[in-house]
Each structure stands twice: as C-alpha cells, then as structure tokens.
C-alpha cells in the first residue's frame, strides 16, 4: 500500500481519526451541491451508480459530477498550498505535488472551508462523518480496554484441589505449590483481549433506496393510525422505543422525508 509507513506513523499519534482524503471530500461536497434529479446523479455515480460514501476514492464518477468533483478538488488543493486549509496527513510525489487520494484533512476543516465559501454540506459528507465517529469511538474503547488494569476474577473455590493438597506428602505439596505459583504468574502476565465488535457494513445507494421504499410502504399501511407532519415522526420514534432500539425523533423525521423521493424514483424506474 502506498504511504503505508506515513499512515502508520500518524496512526500511532491518533491523527488519522475523523479525517477524509481530498478526492473523496471533493466528491461528497459535489454530491451535496448537485441539485439535479436523483436519477441523473445516480447515472454518473462511481461503480455504475452503486456507490456509497465508504467506497474507495479511486472510483471515478462521470459527466457533470466528475467536472464538479474536479473543480472542488482543485480548490481544496489550492487552499492546502496557500495554508488556508490544514491537513492531518500530507502525501506528496517526487515532484513535490500533493496526492489528493492519500492526503487527509480533518472533516471539520472541510466543513469550515465550505462555510467560508458559502458551499453547502449535506447528507453525503454527514454519512462519512457519522461512520468515522462510530469507528473512532469503537477504536477508542478498544484502546482503553487494552490499557485498563483488569480486575481479579474470583472463581468458584476448588475444594477437591484443597483436599488433595492437604492430604498429600510434603514433596507433593511443594510440587503443587510450585505449579500454583507458575499459574498465578502466567495469569498476571496475560494481557486481557479487548472485546472486538464487528462493524456493520454500510449500505450502498440502491440498498438505501430499496429500504426507504419498504419504509414508505409500511408507513402507508399504518396511515390510519399515524398523525401527520412531525407528530408522525414522534409516533414512529415511540414504536422504535417499544422494540428496544430507540431512534431519535429528528432522525425518524429525516428518514420519512426521504421516503417520498425514493418511491418516486422507484416508480419512474418501472414506467
């Protein structure tokens, strides 16, 4: 992998967390500012339209989306060169040119850069940010668990082992005691393994649209039982509480607003 040693050096200091490479940032900002119909945008997405924010920055868009991505990329690189944008990791080639794929910038710095230039940020950049925060949080917990002193465990007392020790000859007692000491030393030296959690696979664009369509169908089936507007989101949020997997009202409201456009795209596709 290119720049592996560079990344490793920064990883050891924690400076890779909550960052994004220049090329991906440019594409996500371009997507957040593309006001065309969703079907036009999907036709120009990388990976033949089946694209998600977590995919490789080496995947190329096409058409107007690529033109917009390239424009934002040039602007970001220019700001890096003038010092108006700070990088977490700068990767250069032999001609001293900044590599847009391997150069990382704090995601918050991208947001500030956009605000200064009256450029919108939306769902695409937010999805990257949320995934990165989740990964950072899991990694931080794993590091903390690794270094946290472990508490001594009190297992059930082995009476049979005690009786064997008491009734044995003195030479046998010495042997048992020596074995016990060796086991205690081994347990003290043993590093507790941090619990690893398997990250959920992010969904791609097509999967997201299908999921939104299913949600729209379920909401439609419950139409007589649900109020309108924001109160509908509140009602659905209460349903999530009832199954022990709470989702905030604002998040539910945002999802419900996306369902209408997803249904329209699906209907248009089958015309």
Residue 59 is predicted with a pLDDT of 92
Residue 147 lies in a domain: no
In this structure, what are the phi and psi dihedrals at residue 20, rounded to the nearest 5 degrees? -150, 145
Residues 106 and 223 in one domain: no
The whole-model pTM stands at 0.57
Residue 162 lies in a domain: no
Residue 94 is predicted with a pLDDT of 94
Residue 17 lies in a domain: yes
Helix (H, G, I), strand (E, B) or coil at 98: strand
Residue 189 lies in a domain: no
CA proximity to 130, closest of 197, 39, 52: 52
CA–CA distances in Å: residue 128 to residues 9, 39, 53, 138: 23, 22, 6, 16
Quote the number of domains for the chain: 2
How many Cα neighbours within 13 Å face the side chain of 174?
Answer: 2
Residues 12 and 112 in one domain: yes
Q: Which distant-in-sequence residues (6+ apart) come within 8 Å of 58 by Cβ?
A: 101
> pLDDT digit of tens for each residue in the chain (271 aa)?
789 999 999 988 888 999 999 999 999 999 999 999 888 999 999 988 888 888 889 999 999 999 999 999 999 999 999 999 999 999 999 999 999 999 999 999 999 999 999 999 988 999 898 888 888 887 887 788 777 776 544 444 455 655 665 566 666 666 666 676 666 666 656 555 544 545 455 566 666 767 777 777 777 776 666 777 777 777 777 777 777 777 777 777 778 777 777 777 667 666 6
The DSSP annotation for 68-85 comes to HHHHHHHHHHHHHHHTSS
Residue 24 lies in a domain: yes
Instruction: Give the helix/strand (H/E) hosting 104.
Output: strand 104-106
Query: Cα–Cα distance between 165 and 183 in angstroms, integer?
Result: 16
How many other CB atoms are there within 10 angstroms of residue 145's CB atom? Answer: 14
Q: Final residue of a domain: which of 135, 156, 189?
A: 135
Residues 128 and 22 in one domain: yes
Residue 191 lies in a domain: no
Range of the structural domain that residue 82 is part of: 4-135
Helix (H, G, I), strand (E, B) or coil at 150: coil
Residue 183 lies in a domain: no
Q: Which two tokens stand for residue 241?
A: 């509480």
CA–CA distances in Å: residue 233 to residues 26, 37, 229, 252, 254: 33, 26, 7, 5, 9
Residue 174 lies in a domain: no
Q: Which distant-in-sequence residues (6+ apart) come within 8 Å of 114 by Cβ?
A: 29, 120, 121
**Crossing angle of helices 159-167 and 170-189, rounded to 10°:** 140
Q: Final residue of a domain: which of 135, 151, 173?
A: 135
Q: Which two tokens stand for residue 182?
A: 């060796």
Residues 225 and 111 in one domain: no
Q: Final residue of a domain: which of 110, 135, 160?
A: 135
């Amino acid at each position: 992998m290119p720049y592996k040693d560079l990344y490793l050096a920064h990883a050891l200091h924690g400076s890779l967390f909550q960052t994004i490479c220049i090329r991906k940032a440019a594409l996500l900002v371009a997507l957040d500012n593309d006001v065309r119909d969703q079907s036009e945008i999907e036709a120009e997405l990388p990976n033949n339209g089946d694209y998600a924010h977590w995919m490789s920055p080496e995947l190329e868009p096409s058409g107007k989306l690529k033109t917009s991505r390239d424009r934002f990329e040039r602007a970001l690189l220019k700001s890096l060169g003038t010092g108006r944008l700070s990088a977490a990791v700068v990767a250069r080639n032999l001609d001293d040119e900044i590599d847009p794929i391997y150069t990382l910038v704090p995601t918050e710095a991208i947001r500030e850069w956009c605000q200064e230039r009256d450029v919108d940020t939306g769902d695409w950049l937010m999805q990257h940010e949320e995934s990165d925060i989740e990964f950072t949080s899991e990694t931080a917990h794993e590091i903390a668990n690794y270094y946290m002193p472990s508490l001594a465990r009190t297992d059930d007392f082995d009476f049979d082992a005690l009786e064997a020790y008491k009734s044995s000859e003195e030479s046998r007692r010495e042997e048992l005691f020596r074995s016990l000491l060796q086991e205690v030393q081994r347990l003290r030296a043993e590093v507790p393994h941090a619990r690893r959690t398997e990250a959920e696979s992010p969904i791609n664009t097509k999967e997201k649209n299908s999921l939104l369509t299913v949600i729209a169908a379920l909401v439609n089936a419950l139409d007589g039982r649900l109020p309108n507007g924001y109160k509908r989101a509140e009602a659905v949020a209460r349903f999530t509480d009832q199954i022990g997997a709470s989702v905030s009202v604002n998040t539910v409201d945002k999802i419900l607003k996306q369902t209408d456009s997803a249904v329209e795209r699906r209907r248009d596709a089958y015309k």
